[in-house]
Amino acid sequence: MNAQQTGFTDRDRLWQSLEEGSQDWDLVVVGGGIIGAGILREAARRGLKTLLVEQRDYAWGTSSRSSKMVHGGLRYISHGDIKLTRDSLRERERLLREAPGLIERMGYHFTLRKGVFPGRIPFSLVLWLYDKLAGIKDHRYLSTASFAKHYSGVSADGLTGAMYYTDTVTDDARLVLRVLQEAIAAGGAAMNYTCAKSLIKKQGQVAGVVLQNVDSGAQVEVRCKAVINATGAWADRLRNEINPEKRIRPLRGSHLVLPREKLPVPDSLSLLHPIDKRPVFIFPWEGATVVGTTDLDHKDDVDQEASINTQELDYLLQVIQLMYPDRGITEDDILSTWSGVRPVIGSEKSTDPSKERRDHAVWVDGGMVTVSGGKLTTFRLIALDALAAAEPVLGNTPVREASDAIFQVPEVSADQLQTTDAQWARRLIGRYGNHAQALLNQASAEERELIGDTQFCLAECRWAARHESVLHLDDLLLRRTRLGSLLKNGGDSLFPALKAMCETELHWDDNRWQVEEARYREIWRKHYYLPTA
């Protein structure tokens, strides 16, 4: 199958064409997170010959380790940034319309405490504006008794009630993959595990990149009209080849994942942490319960996967113990953790990470555009800004598609999908678009069965291995699916089935499987579980 049929570029064939120099490129996008994927999507709809490269796996960095929330950002209103909030809310509503099953509305209950700001009246005013900017009416006050009834087993000590509003939740890595799928179907090309080693310059202007195939070590020069650096926390590194300025302030946010039966919540319970008054959430996600997030300066090497530390673990456990003291939850109950590094634009004015602005910035240096910062929600707008900055080199390139939709309307609707579970059908359409039916068709009845408390099945693993540029076992378990975060011991109970699947689909022999299993276990233990000593 070609890219149009499967949704992802044939890596080997593309690398061969790069070595042969058989393609002329308008644009090279460096970075395979949500911003890079969004730029590839918008460039493809304009008919620009565009190549995206990612040094690790797609969504390997921040874009698979966010708080999973596509939200407007209530705190931006309190900071006076109405435009950012308005833009975020409009994009949130757009994504809800375009990708149901991938982006889902979720209720949030923010606890109110006597003498603690914000109280009921100021928060009601903020939520009134929040809903008005979104074009919906979705907030209300709950009494303490109603709140306690809604969250079984919660402690209402010291509460004066709660404010209810809605935002949305997603699988962030799957969002990246779905945007890439749309971009490639529209004519874009993408390669994971391909590093931009250096820039090619001609008369002081960027004229291309030197690429390295991470697995083979082979290098190739790729010439193009423009380069967009969308590498997030790594943005300064490539930019510093031209401009020595340091602008990225890496901030780490960590999360806990617990079994649903240990801490069942119907929607998001939100509160201000008693230590620093930062908002923290306890919310359902993918059949489990997530608690997060922290907000700390990340001083470790960004080339190493981020990991939760003991301070963060205790900080998040304190929230659980405050709200659910009778559950007796300890670190032994934790299924997994994840930590992401946010590429925040440093203001040099604030020592408090939480007070840094979360909007994006675009810089142009020697013909290269660098974009960083921003929010998951506004990736489309950030992509448009980056392309506008490249317009002096690329020229005016009008959109060639009839619609400005990020996601094309799938040819098969959820009620036409060959499954009796309507909610699961909606989910598959949201995550795979036009490929959802093919995914089911290629799998046995056993592979369609849901795994544990999750909504994932082995059919998705087979589809990803066959069609979605999986090179390593962690690609499959931590990003194509989230089984490594949702199952005990990183999902090792699936290894026998996955070994047979990878032998068939990826042509791994016993030795390759052993290498991949050892690699995965080490990654999971160090970076997706409890802090190591």
Residue 382, token pair as written in the block: 């950030």
Q: Is 108 exposed, middle or buried (0-12, 13-18, 19+ CB in 10 A)?
A: buried
Q: How many residues does the chain have?
A: 533
What pLDDT sits at residue 77? 85
pLDDT in tens, 90-140: 999 999 999 999 999 999 999 999 888 889 999 999 999 999 999 999 999
State the amino acid at position 47 in one-letter form.
G
Residue 384, token pair as written in the block: 């448009």
Instruction: Tell me which CATH homologous superfamily contains domain 103-169+250-347.
Output: D-Amino Acid Oxidase, subunit A, domain 2 (3.30.9.10)
Q: Distance (Å, rounded) from C-alpha 290 to C-alpha 153?
A: 17
Q: What does DSSP say about strands 103-113 and 159-170: parallel, antiparallel, or unpaired?
A: antiparallel
Q: What is the average pLDDT across 472-489?
A: 98
Q: What is the average pLDDT across 179-204?
A: 96
Confidence of residue 22 (pLDDT cuts 50, 70, 90): confident
Residue 128, token pair as written in the block: 């009134």
Q: Are 104 and 92 in contact (CB under 8 A)?
A: no
What pLDDT sits at residue 413? 85
Over 70: is that where the pLDDT of 347 sits? no
Q: Are 35 and 374 in contact (CB under 8 A)?
A: yes
Q: What are phi and psi of 369, to 5 degrees?
A: -95, 130
What pLDDT sits at residue 93? 96
Q: Which residues contact 277 (CB under 8 A, 6 or more apart)?
A: none
Confidence of residue 185 (pLDDT cuts 50, 70, 90): very high
State the amino acid at position 370 in one-letter form.
T
Q: Which has the higher per-residue pLDDT, 349 or 49? A: 49
> Where in the chain are the domains?
3-62+173-247+357-394, 103-169+250-347, 442-527
Q: Distance (Å, rounded) from C-alpha 390 to C-alpha 382?
A: 13
Q: Are 226 and 369 in contact (CB under 8 A)?
A: yes
Q: Is 24 exposed, middle or buried (0-12, 13-18, 19+ CB in 10 A)?
A: exposed
Residue 412, token pair as written in the block: 């098969």
Q: Distance (Å, rounded) from C-alpha 214 to C-alpha 415?
A: 42
Angle ∠(495,500,506) on CA atoms, nearest 5:
105
What pLDDT sits at residue 533? 63
What pLDDT sits at residue 1? 36
User: What CATH number belongs to 3-62+173-247+357-394?
Assistant: 3.50.50.60
Over 60: is that where the pLDDT of 5 sits? no
CA 183 and chain centroid, separation: 17
Over 60: is that where the pLDDT of 351 sits? no
Average per-residue pLDDT for the chain: 94
Q: What is the average pLDDT across 239-263?
A: 96
pLDDT in tens, 257-309: 999 999 999 999 999 999 999 999 999 999 999 999 999 999 999 999 999 99
Q: Which residues contact 515 (CB under 8 A, 6 or more apart)?
A: none
Residue 517 Rama label (left phi>0; alpha psi -120 to 50; beta): alpha
Q: Distance (Å, rounded) from C-alpha 377 to C-alpha 89?
A: 8
Model confidence, pTM = 0.96
pLDDT in tens, 24-45: 899 999 999 999 999 999 999 9
Confidence of residue 358 (pLDDT cuts 50, 70, 90): low
